[in-house]
């Protein structure tokens, strides 16, 4: 089973955090204290991250479906039938997969730095990465993409955090995750049809230059989707603008419960 931790409070509802590639639950360090005042919070490490099983340990092809199954296994083990999901970057892709395949398990969803598809430029970068990855240490490849995705000075904290945590992965696990990137678009294409009734909040930085424009176009047809675009902010908006992110995310979650707005810190 995936490594997980439950921050249990005296609450009925659960929030589950999903990190991105190379990251871990530390990416939500600035959310945890705020969210656990109002919800039971579950943090997990996806395969190949933290103390979770390596990609090889499953004895089958590594896939998005495998990851979704492992996430649901944690919820089943905890006897949690339904949860709010909060994901960042690649974590948002798994939320889309859950919304498409198991919408009954998702109470609502908050997605930071969400990726709905790759632009031609981003696709070209991924293809270039495929060409050079056999010849360089994987962390070099990760650093190149980190600087391309988060190039500005105000992105430095999130960029360094991503790189620092990615160094803890092994090469095979990282490259297995990298091979999942072409399936990003397919995880979103059925979301609107299968989960148009499930509330979704997309929070992105205006400077998330590889993904934000595509996101804004793609979610227009989803009546249950709302968006917040943060100024002077890049891809990992929950790290760069934690107070704003927490305010918007928790306000959104409170509204789903139909409860009065509580103080958000």
For residue 210, give the nearest of 142, 121, 96 by alpha carbon.
121
Confidence (pLDDT) at 260: 54
The pLDDT assigned to 120 comes to 86
Task: For residues 84 and 90, give the distance between their C-alpha atoms in angstroms, rounded to a whole number.
Answer: 17
Phi/psi region, residue 33 (left: phi>0; alpha: psi -120 to 50; beta: rest), is: alpha
CB 249 within 8 A of CB 242: no
pLDDT at 112 over 80: yes
Which range is least confidently modeled, 93-97, 118-122, 139-143? Answer: 118-122
Residue 195 has a pLDDT of 84
pLDDT at 172 over 70: yes
Q: What percent of the chain has pLDDT over 70?
A: 97
Nearest Cα to 110, choosing from 31, 46, 183, 36? 31
pLDDT tens-digit readout, 88-99: 998 999 999 999
Identify whether the C-beta of residue 39 lies closer than 8 Å to the C-beta of residue 14.
yes
pLDDT digits (tens, 9 = 90+) for 53-89: 999 999 999 999 999 999 999 999 999 999 999 999 9
Is this prediction's pTM over 0.85?
yes
Is residue 261 packed enough to be buried (19+ CB in 10 Å), middle (13-18) or exposed (0-12)?
exposed
* Confidence grade of residue 113 (pLDDT, cut at 50, 70, 90): very high
Helix axes 138-149, 171-178, angle to 10 degrees: 50
Please report the pLDDT score of residue 258 as a whole number. 62
Q: How far apart are CA 202 and CA 227, in angstroms?
A: 5
Q: What is the pLDDT of residue 64?
A: 93
Of 68, 74, 66, 61, give the one whose Cα is nearest residue 99. 68
pLDDT band of residue 126 (cuts 50, 70, 90) is confident
Mean pLDDT over 30-57 rounds to 95
Confidence band of 190 (pLDDT split at 50, 70, 90):
confident
Structural domains of the chain, ranges and CATH numbers in brackets: 4-257 (3.40.50.1820)
């Amino acid at each position: 089973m995936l490594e997980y931790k439950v921050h249990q409070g005296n609450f009925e509802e659960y929030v589950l955090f999903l990190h991105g590639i190379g990251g871990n639950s530390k990416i939500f360090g600035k959310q945890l204290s705020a969210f656990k005042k109002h919800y039971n919070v579950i943090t997990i490490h996806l395969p190949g991250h933290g103390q979770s099983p390596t990609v090889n340990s499953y004895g089958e092809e590594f896939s998005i479906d495998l990851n979704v199954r492992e996430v649901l296994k944690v919820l089943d083990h905890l006897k949690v039938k339904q949860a709010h999901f909060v994901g960042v970057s690649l974590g948002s892709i798994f939320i889309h997969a859950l919304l498409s395949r198991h919408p009954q398990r998702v109470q609502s969803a908050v997605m930071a730095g969400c990726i709905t598809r790759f632009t031609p430029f981003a696709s070209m970068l991924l293809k270039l990465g495929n060409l050079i990855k056999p010849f360089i240490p994987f962390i070099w490849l990760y650093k190149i993409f980190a600087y391309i995705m988060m190039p500005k000075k105000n992105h430095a904290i999130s960029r360094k955090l991503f790189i620092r945590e990615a160094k803890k992965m092994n090469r095979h696990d990282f490259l297995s995750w990298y091979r999942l990137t072409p399936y990003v678009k397919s995880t979103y294409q059925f979301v609107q049809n299968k989960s148009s009734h499930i509330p979704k909040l997309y929070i992105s930085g205006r400077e998330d230059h590889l993904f934000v424009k595509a996101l804004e176009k793609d979610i227009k047809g989803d009546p249950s989707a709302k968006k917040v675009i943060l100024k002077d902010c890049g891809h990992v908006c929950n790290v760069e603008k934690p107070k704003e992110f927490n305010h918007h995310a928790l306000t959104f979650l409170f509204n789903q419960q139909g409860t009065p707005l509580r103080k958000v810190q």
